[in-house]
Structure 1
Amino acid sequence: MTTRPLAVIILAAGQGTRMKSARHKVLHPVAGRPMLLHLLASVAELAPQRQVVVVGAGRDQVETAVAGMDVAIAVQDRQLGTGHAVAQAHDALAGFAGDVLILYGDVPLVRAATMRAMLDRLSRGDEPRAVVLGFRPDDAAAYGRIIADGQGVIGKMVEYKDASETERAVTLCNSGLMAVRSTDLFVLLDRIGNDNAAGEYYLPDIVMLPGAPSAVIEAEAWEVAGVNSRAELAGVEAMWQARRRAEAMRDGVTLIAPDTVHFCHDTVLGRDVVVEPNVVFGPGVSVADNVVIHAFSHLEGASVASGAEIGPYARLRPGAVIGPKAKVGNFVEVKKAQLGEGAKANHLSYIGDAVVGAGANIGAGTITCNYDGFLKYQTQIGEGAFIGSNSALVAPVSIGAGAIVGAGSVVTRDVEADALCLVRPEQRGLSGWAKRFREKMKARKASKG
């Protein structure tokens, strides 16, 4: 295992024109997190001393995204190839002595373990000049090929267009990711030329310079999948989701229809959780053991305690805290609200900016009126309280423990514990009124022909 200091250079200077977006390419999200931040999260596991992102257009967007993350920004004003892009990190790495990982901001799924394996190979006894990350795709297509011996020592790297038929038959391809010692990197970059059709300086050219040989290690193809278009972004998302679903089931979660469940990068699920079809987890969701999440529910910024039941067709918004064995039923929305142990909101309700005590029951059609057009206000519902159907609780308001609010009430003042609250006019019945009304209206309609 290598113990040398580590620096990371992430290339993110491409124009991203195929994305057709005002957003910088590396900031498009996979599983709710920008690609660049996925990569930096994996890099963080290796505790690098320095991190440099090389940008071109969209510098301000990238700087905003990495603010507070101890990441230096280097600028490639002219797009003169990957070798030229890496060279722009020279000043940011001034005085650094150690190993350098070169990654791509639009290749977000490479694992920390793979990065570590590249560094370990770089420090092996034969000390290769560079370590290239190779892969074997199902369709090698037009990828550059790596010709290597059984020990992974590279004999030749060749672009597809320049390869012979024999070389094109090789299935080991070049991902572009590389590990190099800092003492070699910029010296090697100074030696490569741009005598090619594009007039650019290509990073892989350092491998074939005269001198010490380089080595290759292999990664799975999904790890080095790159994103240059919306379709490729969707493909990377699909790969990430498939792996996350498999991981969830391996860890004790039941997914009834796995392909229909969408996870976020930080979703946490306990054991014996059951997730029914078409459930979406947004950022910031934590679900404890023995929870059932019924079909077509959407959760974001919420925590759900053990034994709770969510949905179907429920929405938990940021700040929702659902207690043990609580129930949030069909077409119920909860926002910035706590439901105590065993509390129930079973149907067609909105619970926002509220604290609902243990065992309380929220009837169908109940809403907490938490917003007056300018400010938000809180509703307090005590333990064991019963809120009748189609009630409106106009915040700020408090319903005492054990109180009952009659159906159809509009509550604007506090209700004391164990009291009955009725806010509706007395029912009246006018005999024969409906019959007389119908006869009158039929006659009026007939007179108008």
Structure 2
Amino acid sequence: MKKMAIVLAAGQGKRMKSKLYKVLHPVCGKPMVGHVMDVVEASACERTVVIVGHGAEAVQSYLGERAEYALQAQQQGTGHAVLQAEPLLGAEEGTTIVICGDTPLVTAATVQAMLTIHETSGAAATVLTAELGDPTGYGRVIRGSDDGVQRIVEQKDCTPAEGAVKEINTGTYCFDNKKLFQALAQVTNENAQGEYYLTDVIGILQRGGERVLAHCTGDEAEAIGVNDRIALSEAERFMKERIIRGHLVNGVTVIDPSSTYIEAGVTIGADTVIYPGTLLRGNTVIGEDNIIGPQSDLTDTVTGNGVCIKHSVTDRSEVGDETTVGPYANLRPGTKLGRKCKVGDFVELKNAVLDDGSKVSHLSYVGDAKVGKDVNIGCGAITVNYDGYNKAVTEIGDGAFVGSNVNLIAPVRIGDGAYVVAGSTITQDVPENDLAIARERQVNKPGYAAKIRNRAKLKKEKKDSSS
């Protein structure tokens, strides 16, 4: 049977009090509507229509060709929103999933279970429900004697008896597509809100003799619809716990899940240990047997196996097998480290490639550089890569040694096996296996230190006496 989906993403989200359109607010690094689209795509939907309104261009820019779009120019309720998809889907035969773009915690497994119930039973509609201890604010699911769904009543329209019902509507449904649009034509706005409710379709189908079922999820987090920052923070918490639980099941050790933040797009290999205070963001891919943290922040970073990164920040960087980073290193975009490299404390790398076995152990800046194998860059060494207008490249050959407090004025090349003496400022290429010294010859003046001290002392005494 053909499957389709309608994603409701037209609401303005005034309670968010934000310039960012509601469904684009991220939960664990991914916009809410992105999570929803992942679920829809996992359900093998052949066509997906996203209903857009406020912020339509921003939503379409984010989702691109993942969906078709229909505009709800005026927000007149969920039923009215779904009706905007009729020109695109109204003639189709099959099952249509209707899901809200602000429900990021609904899982693909739950939707698949709902689809199975719906299609095997031949129901006209199946509602995803949840039982909440406090159902305030949610539409109540009213069941009949046969345990089927008779109707869904919105909070503001509930009688006292209906308000006491704990089973609520999550806002996710499966419909027979043709019957959905036939029922929508009968929906009115005679209610407390003056809107066209999608939930009224359930009562219309039931009164027409159609079978309406419910699938109650065991995870009440799936019922969360994000309408304000409080709900956003709750969704973030539940999503974070779900993500970390998944990594734990897959063989990753997370020492303290409560102090660890891992976004939805992150991949982590088995037997990696994540220490407290660590943030893993974007499309970061961590290999096996890594030690990450404590207090490390990795964004769009790829690591090999056996890597150790402590108290450090990496962004759009690559770290090879058995390489160590930190503590207190900063790997900026374009950094690529080979196997068994060492990047130590207070080292910053930017757009720099270090081949296997090279070391930058402490207090150095290497930017716009190509560093060969087994190179040692000493403490305080700097590639001087920017003249205020243009960037220039420094090249360091295999086996070279760059001493402490060296300035390499780019563009410059240090040849294979070359040796740059500490304290040098290098402005010209150093050929292979040459020794470069670029500093003034030392001159010692016997007894002169005492003269300097006396001069300084007299100057201070004169200043003190005048004050």
Find the partner of 1:106 among 95, 102, 109. 102
Counterparts of 1:76-155 in structure 2, within 5 Å, are 76-125=72-121, 127-148=122-143, 153-155=148-150
Counterpart of 2:111, as a letter, is M
Distance 1:318 1:413 in 2: 27
Distance 1:284 1:142 in 2: 36
Cα 1:404–1:326, aligned 2, differ >3 Å: closer, same or farther? same
Counterpart of 1:40, as a letter, is M
Map Cα deviations across residues 153-188 of structure 1 (whole Å, 9 max, x no partner). 224433345545554444321111111121111111
1:11 is displaced (CA, Å) by 1.0
Matching residue of 1:63? 60
Matching residue of 1:439? 454
Instruction: Tell me, yes or no, if the aligned pair for 2:123 and 2:176 is still in contact at 8 Å.
Output: no
Matching residue of 1:182? 177
Counterparts of 1:394-409 in structure 2, within 5 Å, are 394-409=409-424
Matching residue of 1:47? 44
1:190 is displaced (CA, Å) by 0.9
Cα 1:304–1:379, aligned 2, differ >3 Å: closer, same or farther? farther
Aligned alpha-carbon RMSD (Å): 2.4
1:17 aligns with 2:14: yes
Matching residue of 2:213? 215
Choose 55-64 or 358-367, whichever is displaced more: 358-367
Q: TM-score, normalised by structure 2?
A: 0.87
- What SS does the corresponding residue of 1:124 show, helix, strand or coil? helix
Distance 2:29 2:276 in 1: 20
Counterpart of 2:230, as a letter, is A
Matching residue of 2:315? none
1:81 is displaced (CA, Å) by 0.7
Instruction: Tell me, yes or no, if the aligned pair for 2:90 and 2:178 is still in contact at 8 Å.
Output: no
Distance 2:145 2:272 in 1: 46
Q: TM-score, normalised by structure 1?
A: 0.90
1:130 is displaced (CA, Å) by 0.9
Cα 1:120–1:228, aligned 2, differ >3 Å: closer, same or farther? same
Instruction: Tell me, yes or no, if the aligned pair for 1:295 and 1:313 is still in contact at 8 Å.
Output: no
1:195 aligns with 2:193: no
Counterparts of 1:15-414 in structure 2, within 5 Å, are 15-67=12-64, 69-125=65-121, 127-148=122-143, 153-163=148-158, 167-209=162-204, 210-211=207-208, 212-219=210-217, 220-310=219-309, 311-414=326-429
Cα 1:120–1:302, aligned 2, differ >3 Å: closer, same or farther? same
Task: List alignment gaps of at least 5 residues for structure 1.
Answer: none
1:204 is displaced (CA, Å) by 0.9
Distance 1:35 1:410 in 2: 53
Distance 2:370 2:131 in 1: 55
1:407 is displaced (CA, Å) by 2.6
Task: List alignment gaps of at least 5 residues for structure 2.
Answer: 310-325
1:5 aligns with 2:16: no
Map Cα deviations across residues 204-251 of structure 1 (whole Å, 9 max, x no partner). 111111121311112222233222222322222222222222222222
Cα 1:436–1:303, aligned 2, differ >3 Å: closer, same or farther? same
Distance 1:128 1:101 in 2: 13
Map Cα deviations across residues 314-359 of structure 1 (whole Å, 9 max, x no partner). 3333333333332333333333333333333332333333333333
Choose 19-28 or 144-153, whichever is displaced more: 144-153
Instruction: Tell me, yes or no, if the aligned pair for 1:295 and 1:312 is still in contact at 8 Å.
Output: no
- What SS does the corresponding residue of 2:115 show, helix, strand or coil? helix
Choose 201-210 or 264-273, whichever is displaced more: 264-273
- What SS does the corresponding residue of 1:123 show, helix, strand or coil? helix
